[in-house]
């Protein structure tokens, strides 16, 4: 038992239904060339009609558990980071708990920090570990496709559905050697789903008010400026040199955002592990999905140091440095 956490296992689930840029060319006035050059995305996955966020989360968590033959009844907490929950309540996490048929001595709750949900959940998991929680699952899961205006070419080409799950174990090793979260609520209108909550409940909302609205160019500029200064601060405060970083796991919103942040921080692009080409922006799920794929293909070695960066609606964002043990 310890006051930090280490990654024990990582899993993922992506729906098998693929929507390519060529499919989108038939739906709105766009082109594969425009989407790839502006975002890095070639295709994304869409949940089937009968698949909900909880179903994706459940499958990703099972995948993480199966990889290490982990008994999910060992969990002390189950956090689902999502901006697209099944319902306002009960939480998506409670439904995942039910689908898995887990024992009752487990804390289950959702965490809403849009695309930065995974970074925020790391801090919550660290806090729980310091209170004696031993095994904590953090699942990022989204079904964004139901909140997209499929006639709006400025947003419909960007997003996809999916889930990634990390099982953390409390540890005495350093683990997260740095973590800082940020917010700027004054820019809420640049990226939002206006309807569906108590501000604009479903019975009064126009249907397009349930969909993602974004002023992409402004979001882009703000994300690059804030993420690069937050990452630089992390490197300076921990006296970390770029060549000491084994890899970067950045929220997959746009490959140009990631590359601009790396460039400003003097970090070679090859350090960043990306899958935006295949999945688009899966919001809170994107970082745990990348970590799962990284563990499958390369594996983390003891003492490897990774940076985790995220940015989402709010705005909220965060940077972590993680040393694997």
Interface ranges with ligand ACO (CB under 6 A) = 30, 34-35, 38-39, 114-115, 153-154, 157, 191, 216-217, 219-220, 223, 253-254, 257, 281, 283, 312-313
Q: Would residue 251 show up in a list of annotated catalytic residues for this protein?
A: yes
Cβ at position 144, least distance to ligand ACO in Å? 7
Q: 63, 251, 265, 275: which is the annotated catalytic residue?
A: 251
Cβ at position 166, least distance to ligand ACO in Å? 20
Q: Of 32 and 123, which has the nearer Cβ to ligand ACO? A: 32
CB crowding 155-177: b at 16 or more within 10 Å, else e: bbbbbbbbbbbbbbbbbeebbbb
Q: Of 128 and 163, which has the nearer Cβ to ligand ACO? A: 163
Residue closest to ligand ACO when measured from CB atoms: 216
* Integer-rounded Cα radius of gyration of the chain: 19
Q: 115, 254, 275, 320: which is the annotated catalytic residue?
A: 115
Element (H, E) at 235: helix 216-237
Residue with tokens 């084994």: 246
Most distant CA pair in the chain, distance: 55
CB crowding 81-110: b at 16 or more within 10 Å, else e: bbbbbbeeeebbbbbbbeebebeeebebeb
Q: Under a CB-based contact definition with an 8 Å cutoff, are residues 278 and 42 in contact? A: yes
Q: Of 58 and 159, which has the nearer Cβ to ligand ACO? A: 159
Cβ at position 94, least distance to ligand ACO in Å? 23
* Measured distance CA(213)–CA(209) in Å, rounded: 8
Cβ at position 153, least distance to ligand ACO in Å? 4
Q: Of 247 and 280, which has the nearer Cβ to ligand ACO? A: 280
Token couple for 5: 């956490």
Q: Would residue 97 show up in a list of annotated catalytic residues for this protein?
A: no
Report the candidate in 75, 125, 62, 65 with the shortest Cα–Cα distance to residue 322: 125
DSSP helix/strand/coil, 165: strand
Q: Would residue 281 show up in a list of annotated catalytic residues for this protein?
A: yes
Cβ at position 106, least distance to ligand ACO in Å? 28
Residue with tokens 């709006």: 152
DSSP at 263: H
* Measured distance CA(223)–CA(292) in Å, rounded: 24
Length of the chain: 325
Burial class of residue 2 (count of CB atoms within 10 Å of its CB; 0-12, 13-18, 19+): middle
Q: Under a CB-based contact definition with an 8 Å cutoff, are residues 288 and 116 in contact? A: no
Q: 4, 21, 254, 281: which is the annotated catalytic residue?
A: 281
Cβ at position 33, least distance to ligand ACO in Å? 9
Q: Of 66 and 188, which has the nearer Cβ to ligand ACO? A: 188
* Measured distance CA(189)–CA(203) in Å, rounded: 22
Q: Of 34 and 109, which has the nearer Cβ to ligand ACO? A: 34
* Active site amino acids: 115, 251, 281
């Amino acid at each position: 038992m310890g006051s930090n956490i280490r990654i024990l296992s990582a899993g993922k689930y992506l729906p098998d239904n693929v929507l390519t840029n060529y499919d989108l060319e038939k739906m709105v006035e766009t082109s594969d060339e425009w989407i790839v050059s502006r975002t890095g995305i070639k295709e994304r996955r869409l949940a089937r009609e009968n698949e909900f966020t909880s179903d994706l989360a459940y499958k990703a968590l099972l995948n993480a558990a199966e990889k290490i033959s982990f008994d999910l009844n060992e969990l002390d907490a189950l956090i689902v980071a999502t901006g697209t929950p099944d319902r306002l309540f009960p939480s998506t996490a409670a439904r995942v708990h039910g689908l898995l048929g887990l024992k009752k001595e487990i804390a289950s709750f959702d965490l809403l920090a849009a695309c930065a949900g995974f970074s925020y959940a790391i801090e919550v998991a660290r806090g729980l570990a310091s209170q004696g929680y031993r095994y904590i699952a953090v699942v990022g899961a989204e079904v964004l496709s139901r909140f997209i205006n499929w006639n709006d070419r400025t947003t419909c080409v960007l997003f996809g559905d999916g889930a990634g799950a990390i099982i953390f174990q409390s540890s005495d090793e350093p683990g997260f050697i740095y973590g800082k979260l940020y917010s700027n609520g004054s820019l809420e209108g640049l990226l939002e789903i206006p309807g569906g909550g108590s501000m604009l409940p479903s019975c009064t909302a126009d249907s397009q008010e349930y969909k993602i609205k974004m002023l992409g160019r402004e979001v882009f500029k703000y994300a690059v400026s804030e993420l690069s200064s937050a990452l630089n601060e992390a490197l300076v405060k921990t006296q970390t040199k770029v060549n000491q970083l084994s890899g970067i796991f950045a929220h997959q919103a746009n490959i140009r955002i990631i590359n601009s942040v790396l460039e400003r921080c003097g970090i070679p692009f090859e350090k960043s592990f990306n899958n935006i080409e295949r999945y688009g922006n899966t919001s809170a799920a994107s970082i745990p999905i990348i970590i799962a794929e990284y563990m499958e293909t390369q594996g983390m070695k003891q003492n490897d140091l990774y940076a985790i960066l995220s940015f989402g609606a709010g705005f909220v964002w965060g940077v972590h440095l993680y040393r694997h043990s």
